[in-house]
Structure 1
Amino acid sequence: MAIPTNKEELQTAIKTNYSKLKKELSKIPEESTTIPNLHGHAKDTLMSINNLVSYLIGWGELVLKWNTKKKLNEAVDFPETGYKWNELGKLAQKFYKDYEKDDFNTLCTKLNNTVQKILSLIEEKSNTELYETAWYEKWTLGRMIQFNTASPYNNARGRIRKWKKENNIL
């Protein structure tokens, strides 16, 4: 799928990629979701399916946090307070920890809720706000949302499909 360049394309990309991801997630046996046998987001680490879903929730919640802070004219620490852009592996580990007590079904529900909040956020914005105004450095809000939703959903789906094949999960 091409990189979205307007509000409608962004909404479609998120809905399409999330729908495909959700379908893959629905076919995973819950007992397999806590086993750390996927390549992690930091070099030489392993993660579980639950960690992967936690990662997606974490980034989605960051997008919402950034927007809320900007709306209130508060300073935003990108990507997150205490983390630099070259420390995304550490940030991924934080997301895993943030949601480690949640089971697979709870994580899937939280991810779904986060996706719905992001879609609502997009719905509230005009195309100009999303794609015709720099929002963070040279990036538009629409692009920042896409970087942290539609693209990672597609990436996660690919990881899950590969993992299912390696683990003989149909």
Structure 2
Amino acid sequence: MVEYKNRQELILEISNRAKLFIEEFKDIDEKNKDKLIDGVDKTPTQMIAYQLGWMNLILDWEKQEQQGYTVITPTPDYKWNNLGGLYESFYKEYEGYTLKELCSMFIKKEQQIIDLINSYTDSELFQQGGRKWSSSTPSNWPIWKWIHINTVAPFKSFRTKIRKWKRLQQ
């Protein structure tokens, strides 16, 4: 897995990958946003919903911890062995929005993640145990890794998926 020298490097990678990912949706016709194509496991709407869902979770985990709550990851309703159910909840939450609205939400959420990164000290961000929520699984990842796994990594893999979706739907 990639390692970052500092927060600026992490933020730059998130920004660059997010921009490349979200640009892929600009030429998709609204009437096709929920179209499932053989060979691609998600619709365009589902791809953005997945990203929004995970970014929201990270922001929510931090908010809960700041308010003094014990954070249950990924959520009190979904355990790590039921991520499929969690993803379905993301899709349901965002199913009524247009692609334009989803893209706008994505850009705002990306900025909130960047603001969150900037709120941490270097030790909180890059060392294990920076937050209780980041240490709540056996992996005991530092915060940066949670953010990377739920932003940069899927922005790259889902960009490949949306490009394949666009190629196959023509």
Task: Give TM-score scaled by structure 1 length.
Answer: 0.88
Are 1:75 and 2:76 counterparts? no
Give the residue type in structure 2 aligned to 1:26. K
CA contact (8 A) 2:37 2:169 kept: no
Displacement of 1:141 after TM fit?
Answer: 0.9
Alignment RMSD (CA, Å):
1.8
Count of residues in correspondence between the two structures: 163
Aligned CA distance change for structure 1 residues 26 and 62 (closer, same or farther; 3 Å): same
Q: What corresponds to 2:145 in structure 1? A: 143
2:104 is matched with which residue?
A: 109
Q: Deviations over 1:110-168 (max 9, x none)?
A: 11111111111111212211002323232111111111111111111010111112123
Match of 1:43 in 2: none
Shift of 1:14: 0.5
Aligned-pair identity in percent equals 29
Q: Partner letter of residue 64 of structure 1?
A: L
- The alignment partner of 2:25 has SS state of helix
For the 8 Å contact 2:13–2:152, the answer to whether it is kept is yes
1:89-100 equivalent positions in 2, closer than 5 A: 89-100=84-95
Equivalent residue in structure 1 for 2:165, among 138, 163, 169: 163
Alignment-derived partner of residue 48 in structure 2: 53
Distance 1:153 1:5 in 2: 20
Do the aligned partners of residues 141 and 96 (structure 1) sit closer, same or farther apart at CA in structure 2, a change above 3 Å counting? same
- Return closer, same or farther for 1:48/1:6 CA change in 2, 3 Å cut-off: same
How many Å separate the matches in 2 of 1:85 and 1:38?
Answer: 27
2:25/2:99 contact within 8 Å kept: no
Give, as a single letter, the amino acid of the residue that structure 1 aligns with 2:29.
Answer: P
Q: CA deviation at 1:39?
A: 6.1
1:59-114 per-residue CA deviation (whole Å, 9 max, x = no partner) reads: 11001000111222211110112111111111000000011111111111111111
In structure 1, list runs of 5 or more residues that go unmatched. Answer: 41-45
Cα distance in 2 for residues equivalent to 1:145 and 1:38: 30
Match of 1:34 in 2: 34
- The verdict on how the C-alpha distance between 1:73 and 1:38 changes in structure 2, with shifts beyond 3 A counting, is farther
Consecutive unaligned residues in structure 2, runs of 5 or more = none
Q: Where is the strand percentage greater, Structure 1 or Structure 2?
A: 1
Q: Which residue of 1 aligns with 2:6?
A: 6
* One-letter identity of the residue aligned with 1:104: L
Contact 1:20 1:157 (C-alpha < 8 Å) held by counterparts: yes
CA contact (8 A) 1:52 1:156 kept: yes
Structure 1 position 2, deviation (Å): 3.2
Note the C-alpha offset of 1:3.
Answer: 4.0
Find out whether 1:65 has 2:44 as its counterpart. Answer: no
